[in-house]
Chain A
Amino acid sequence: MAVRVGVLYSRIRKDEKLLLGELRERGHEVAKIDVREERFGLESTTAPVDDLDLVVDRCLSTSRSLYAARFLDSYGVPVVNSPETGDVCADKAKNSLALAEADVPTPATEVAFTKEAALEAIESFGYPCVLKPVTGSWGRLMAKIDSRNAAEAILEHKETLGHYEHKVFYVQEFVDKPGRDVRVLAVDGEPVAAMTRSSDHWLTNAAKGGETAAFDLDERATELVEKASDAVGGGMLGVDLMEVGVEPEADAGETGVDGDGADDYTVHEVNHTVEFKALDAATDVDVPARVVDWLETKAAAAAGEGAEESTEATT
């Protein structure tokens, strides 16, 4: 059954292009909505969303993503991911709290609001430890702190950066991962595809040039992906895990690796506007096709709920 899907965007990346191509190939009606051109009022929007079965939030800008999703939700327009999920995922402190509250292993973290308190947090973790902005992505402005001198300098720089969010100091234990981390794309907790991102640098993000390879999730990783997804409210998510207890030399070939070597995992982040072009290239999974399978299910469910509501209203 063809569905009408809106795609919120402000920049068409390869990811959105793959998604649009798959939607159109299946005969779905697609409305591209550039959020830069729209206005969002308390009761309605200039965005053409009235006849849509589902809207997919693919905004590159987190602030636009959060507000646009929240407004659409208030009009009763079904939107994925939900604004609640976006709210938790967009903020690393909320993300960490949600994972901890759901008993998902996650790196030890402290938040402090002054550079003096942050320095105490850093000293209590010991060196190295990690300082991250509470919002942001692609490894930007992340600092691995190796000494007190470095800590003092970085904290002073952050305090003078200007934006108030830089005065929310998010300090985390340094996890000695085996030169790679694991990215899993999941839809409502069900893994679609997984890959490792490897680098000699401590930051292994694909956006930072980390090398990617397919990864076979073991039972424990699969369980944690589901729990992490539930913890943030579900949706189409990028769950990032680090392996615990794996020696660096035990990793990785170019043809793919599996999770059998890990004693356990720690989930450091869940992303709500997940990029998947690297996963699509690194694995045998047709990621856009699996994503659209899921969107079709969500659109059908939303249409069913809408029909139910309208029946209730007339009885």
Chain B
Amino acid sequence: MTSDTDTLTAEDPITGEEIEIPADVEVGEIIDSPVTGTELEVISLDPVVLEEAPELEEDWGE
């Protein structure tokens, strides 16, 4: 759901609270929860679904 031109609202998967995220997010993008600081992954945009992002793995990097 679009709350204004710059943000979307979504449910924080950890706390269940409604949070605002940038409107231009991409599926697969990682955002920080404004409530807990936890990394969340954007799973879908319509509707906006967030999940806790995968933990860093040993072979991640450049």
Cβ A12 vs Cβ B29 within 8 A: yes
**Minimal beta-carbon separation of B38 from chain A (angstroms):** 15
Q: Which of B26, B57, B58 contacts A12 (CB 8 A)?
A: B26
B29 cross-chain contacts in A, Cβ below 8 A = 12, 17
Q: Flag whether B59 is at the interface (Cβ < 8 A).
A: yes
Cβ B62 vs Cβ A138 within 8 A: yes
**Count of B residues near A, CB < 8 Å?**
15
A168 cross-chain contacts in B, Cβ below 8 A = none
How far apart are the CA atoms of A62 and B26 in the complex, in Å?
A: 22
What is the count of residue pairs linking A and B with beta-carbon distances less than 8 angstroms?
A: 55
How far apart are the CA atoms of A137 and B60 in the complex, in Å?
A: 7
Using CB atoms, name the residue of chain A closest to B27: A32
Using CB atoms, name the residue of chain A closest to B26: A12
Q: Which of B27, B42, B61 contacts A60 (CB 8 A)?
A: B61
* Contact pattern, A 243-258, Cβ under 8 Å of B = 1, otherwise 0: 0000000000000000
Q: Flag whether B41 is at the interface (Cβ < 8 A).
A: yes
**Count of A residues near B, CB < 8 Å?**
27
**Minimal beta-carbon separation of B24 from chain A (angstroms):** 8
Task: List B residues 12-50 near A (Cβ within 8 Å).
Answer: 26-30, 41-42
Using CB atoms, name the residue of chain A closest to B57: A61
How far apart are the CA atoms of A310 and B26 in the complex, in Å?
A: 37
Cβ A136 vs Cβ B61 within 8 A: yes
**Minimal beta-carbon separation of B46 from chain A (angstroms):** 15
Cβ A9 vs Cβ B28 within 8 A: yes
Cβ A13 vs Cβ B30 within 8 A: yes
How far apart are the CA atoms of A271 and B61 in the complex, in Å?
A: 9
Q: Flag whether A109 is at the interface (Cβ < 8 A).
A: no
What are 17 residue pairs bridging A and B, where the CB atoms are less than 8 Å apart in the complex?
Answer: A11-B54, A12-B26, A12-B30, A16-B28, A17-B26, A20-B26, A32-B26, A61-B59, A62-B59, A62-B60, A135-B58, A135-B59, A136-B58, A137-B60, A207-B61, A238-B62, A273-B62
Question: Which chain A residues have a beta carbon within 8 Å of chain B's beta carbons?
Answer: 9-13, 16-17, 20, 32, 34, 60-63, 135-138, 140, 163, 207, 238, 271-275
